[in-house]
């Protein structure tokens, strides 16, 4: 997949998530959050009003610190595909 194709597929996956109206499982949201931040090279600190949520987000980011932006995009796309494929 070319860089341009990867960017298009990533944007499509983000749109699918943003358009979905039902709630997502918390662990799934944390993974999406971390891979999205890494994919977009957004290194701002988590900004939840609840410290425990910031701790979970920081931990999720820490777990994927050694992957590239492109790897994060690929993983994000796969997470979204699998979620919609296997959800009930």
Domain that holds residue 51: 3-86
Q: What was the pLDDT predicted at 19?
A: 96
Please state the separation of Cα 9 from the chain's center in Å: 13
Q: 45 versus 54: which is more confidently predicted?
A: 54
CA distances from 83 to 44, 51, 53 (A): 27, 28, 22
For the chain, the domain total comes to 1
CA distances from 2 to 8, 39, 40, 61 (A): 10, 15, 17, 26
Confidence of residue 38 (pLDDT cuts 50, 70, 90): very high
Q: What was the pLDDT predicted at 88?
A: 55
Alpha-carbon span 68 to 39, nearest angstrom: 8
Q: What CATH number should be reported for the domain holding residue 81?
A: 1.20.80.10
Q: Name the pTM for this structure.
A: 0.91
Express each pLDDT in 16-31 by its tens digit.
Answer: 999 999 999 999 999 9
């Amino acid at each position: 997949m070319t860089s341009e194709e990867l960017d298009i597929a990533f944007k499509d996956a983000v749109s699918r998530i943003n358009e979905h109206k039902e709630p997502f499982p918390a662990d799934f949201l944390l993974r999406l959050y971390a891979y999205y931040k890494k994919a977009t090279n957004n290194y701002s600190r988590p900004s939840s009003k609840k410290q425990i949520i910031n701790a979970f987000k920081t931990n999720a980011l820490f777990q994927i610190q050694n992957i590239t932006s492109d790897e994060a995009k690929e993983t994000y796309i796969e997470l979204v595909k699998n979620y919609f494929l296997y959800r009930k």
